[in-house]
Amino acid sequence: MDLIRDGHIAESIECPKQGIIPHDMVHFAVESVLHKRGFIGRVLEGEAASFQMQADSESDGVERLVEVFQADGWSGWSTAAADMLDLYQVTCTARHCAPLEVLAADIEAVRGKILELTAQWQSVPVGKSLTLQFVHGAGAH
């Protein structure tokens, strides 16, 4: 994944082809659908793309939700929304993280975006790229 700032590649992160879309693509889906600030939003604000970002209540809640969606993906993207919400609560409790307000309709909306991204990603040959545009605040990035 190339992070482009001011028209130039600022950082690159490897996103290997695997059975489901890459972790950061799940972030893209969650953050763009729910309009929450997580890894993608923080990087767009200028933070370095790091595996060890400073704790932040909203982005920590996003990270836990991304983990729940990844688990759903490895299970075939078919977990009931209510079960995903329960798992999200358990995950947040275990990580001492305040959960975001998420409804079953939110789960289904994010899953729809993930399935759309999955179809796009699966059609990309290894070594090629997919360009996604993240709308952050009032402008596009």
With the C-alpha atoms ordered 139, 141, 109, 94, is the resulting torsion angle positive or negative? negative
Could you give the CA distance from residue 45 to residue 20 in angstroms, rounded to a whole number? 27
Which CA distances in Å does 110 have to 12, 30, 82, 89, 106? 25, 6, 14, 17, 6
If pLDDT is split at 50, 70 and 90, which confidence band does 139 have?
A: very low
The share of the chain scoring above pLDDT 90, in percent, equals 53
- What pLDDT is recorded for position 41? 86
Q: Is the pLDDT assigned to residue 140 strictly greater than 50? A: no
Q: Where is pLDDT greater, at 11 or 46? A: 46
Q: Where is pLDDT greater, at 57 or 4? A: 57
Per-residue pLDDT of 119-129, as tens digits, reads 998 898 877 88
Q: Is the pLDDT assigned to residue 138 strictly greater than 90? A: no
Per-residue pLDDT of 35-93, as tens digits, reads 999 888 888 888 877 667 777 889 999 999 999 999 999 999 999 999 999 999 999 99
